[in-house]
Amino acid sequence: MHPLVSKQKAYFLTGETKSLKMRINTLKKLKQVIKTNETAILNALYQDLGKSNYEAYITEVGFIYQEIDHMIKRLPKLSKVKKVKTPLTTFPAKSFIMREPYGVVLIISPWNYPFQLTLAPLIGAIVAGNTAIIKPSRFSYYTSNIIKNLIEENFPEEYLAVVLGGKDETEELIDSKVDYVFFTGSVAVGKQIASRCGNLLIPYTLELGGKSPCIIDKSADLDLAAKRVVFGKLMNAGQTCVAPDYLLVHESVKDNFILKLKTYIDKFYPHPLSNDSYPKIITKHHFERLIKLFYDEKVLFGGKFDADNQKIEPTIIELDSLEHPVMQEEIFGPIFPIIVFKDITEVITTIRSFSHPLALYLFTNDKEIEKLILNNITFGGGCVNDTLLHLATPYLPFGGVGDSGIGNYHGDYSFKTFSREKSVLKKGKVYDLQLRYPPYDDKKLKLIKKIIK
């Protein structure tokens, strides 16, 4: 067993992590540690991904402040024992559900929002009363290291700890039979994690990715749609799991919509290759992968790149086939593929031909179209007339379905994810119905059939 896992298992058994006071104090301390080191965290995010302080604040650090505040407010109520009804057949008795932490939780996080996607599940693990081991991504080197330093300097390792590394380190931790695994990352690695956990019967959550469609209906407010699509697509230069991946645009509004897309790209990120608030692509590998997706294409807008700084201009391409390479994988970069449709039913067929997406965005002013899409397409979560914002609220569960993930979190849902429901029936002693006890005969059967019919 990995020494950290055995240390944390022993500490968990002391019961200290379950104390409400301790959980709230840990959250308060975590917030204070982040506040004290906020500048260093923002700097690390700039070094890893070229995120501006503003972008890093709203999508990473500020997001965590909100989650902590929400949890401090909600925890006393969430952790209460819930009384439920008791059926006549078990009379006399009381029934209740206790929320119980799993024990040692392993949190595996990716590089694209390296602070938020590590700390948000950590908050869930803490509020539910677990200990936690964090395994951040090696590609977000600076942020992963600062997280490690902050946790190590401020919390005992038997409670919260960080392990840096990749596949081998992660596998060793899982094989030490942690009590819960929370994984955020790619579908391919998610499958490996699931199968490893499955073999050991370790419960898990998978927060994965995929191709999230964005529909621009002919009734949409085009200016607003273009503005919000550019906002959602270019946040972190497209390296967002819920970024609008491809755009399905009604043929009657295509030209006007593309014009407006260009206007907002220019307005939000002028001179993107030298613009300090326009993020870079995380690694050379991903940079080259993205270039290949549009290099031989007729580019409608953008298309230039800077290999030294790993930056790619926001690039619009029009597709005439779903077989195009850009449709064979999650893009995860600043490429806007446009696919034209004539009838909304084509949209449903197209989206259904891919795995269930993590997110779906619909721009429309037509209530019937809205109903048709929401009722006929399965997706993790999404927005009508906006992008990304469904994950910026603690009141909506965030997660995928099938290939885009298993389980969810954020706000109250994080508490639910990191704790389990322990059912208890507390039986009265005074009255003891003899009917339940052997020997069984026809008379008893007749009687029981009057009660259970």
Please count the residues of this chain forming the interface with ligand NAD, following the rule CB under 6 A.
27
By CB under 6 A, tell whether 453 contacts ligand NAD.
no
Q: How far apart are CA 125 and CA 419, in angstroms?
A: 8
Indicate the residue among 192 and 263 with the shorter CB distance to ligand NAD. 192
Q: Confirm if 26 and 126 have CB atoms less than 8 A apart.
A: yes
H helices, E strands: number in the chain: 16, 18
- Exactly one of 78, 108, 128, 281 binds ligand NAD (CB under 6 A); that residue is 108
Helix (H) or strand (E) holding 97: strand 93-101
Interface with ligand NAD, residue 403, by CB under 6 A: no
- Catalytic-residue membership of 16: no
Nearest of 236, 13, 8 to residue 134 by alpha carbon: 8
**Cα–Cα distances in Å, from 179 out to 5, 35, 104, 129, 152?**
10, 31, 5, 13, 22
Stretch that binds ligand NAD, among 178-186, 299-307, 359-367, 410-418 (CB under 6 A): 178-186
Pick one of 53, 192, 275, 309: the residue that binds ligand NAD (CB under 6 A): 192
Mark the segment that binds ligand NAD (CB under 6 A) among 49-57, 71-79, 185-193, 226-234: 185-193
Among 21, 85, 167, 446, binds ligand NAD (CB under 6 A): 167
* Token reading at 241: 């799991």
DSSP classification of residue 426:
E
Q: Please identify which residue in 101, 103, 129, 185 interacts with ligand NAD, judged by CB under 6 A.
A: 185
Near ligand NAD in 333-362, by CB under 6 A: 358
- Is position 241 an interface residue for ligand NAD (rule: CB under 6 A)? yes
- Site residues for ligand NAD, 202-221, by CB under 6 A, read 207-209
Closer residue to ligand NAD in complex, CB, 42/108: 108
Asked whether 223 and 260 are in contact (CB, 8 A), the reply is: yes
User: Which residue of this chain has its Cβ atom nearest to ligand NAD in the complex?
Assistant: 209
Stretch that binds ligand NAD, among 83-91, 131-139, 273-281, 412-420 (CB under 6 A): 131-139
**72: Cα within 13 Å, side-chain hemisphere:** 14
Interface segment toward ligand NAD; rule CB under 6 A; list 103-111, 220-228, 246-254, 345-353: 103-111
Q: Which is nearer to ligand NAD, 222 or 234 (by Cβ)?
A: 234
Within 134-163, the residues that bind ligand NAD by CB under 6 A are 135-138
Q: CA 294, 329, 405, 170 torsion: positive or negative?
A: negative
**Is 408 among the residues that bind ligand NAD (CB under 6 A)?**
no
For the bound state, the minimum distance from the C-beta of residue 343 to ligand NAD, rounded and expressed in Å, comes to 30
Q: Does residue 92 bind ligand NAD (CB under 6 A)?
A: no
Return the residue of 15, 87, 156, 166 that touches ligand NAD, per CB under 6 A: 166
What's the token pair of residue 421?
Answer: 């429901």
Rounded Cα distance, 191 and 226, in Å: 35
- List strand residue ranges (DSSP E) for 319-444, in order: 335-341, 359-363, 381-384, 405-406, 419-427
Query: Whole-angstrom Cα distance, residue 120 to residue 125?
Result: 9
DSSP string, 326-337: GGSS---SSEEE
DSSP 398: B
Site stretch for ligand NAD (CB under 6 A), options 183-191, 252-260, 268-276, 320-328: 183-191
Out of 189, 230, 237, 338, point to the residue binding ligand NAD (CB under 6 A): 189
Q: CB of 379: closest distance to ligand NAD in angstroms?
A: 12
φ/ψ (deg, to 5) at 199: -60, -35
In the complex, least distance from residue 327 CB atom to ligand NAD, rounded to whole angstroms: 16
Q: Where are the beta strands (DSSP E) in 163-261?
A: 180-184, 204-207, 213-216, 246-250
Site string for ligand NAD, 266-295 (x = CB under 6 A): ------------------------------
Q: Can you tell me the distance from the alpha carbon of 115 to that of 411, in angstroms, rounded to the nearest whole number?
A: 17
Q: Is 241 among the residues known to form the active site?
A: yes
Nearest distance, CB of residue 206 and ligand NAD, angstroms: 8
* Residue 271 φ/ψ region, left for φ over 0, alpha for ψ in the -120 to 50 degree band, beta for the rest: left
Identified catalytic residue from 207, 313, 318, 330: 207
CA atoms within 13 A on the CB side of 164: 15
Q: Which residues of this protein are in contact with ligand NAD, per CB under 6 A? A: 108-112, 117, 135-138, 166-167, 170-171, 184-186, 189, 192, 207-209, 241, 330, 358, 400, 405
**Which residues are the active-site residues?**
207, 241
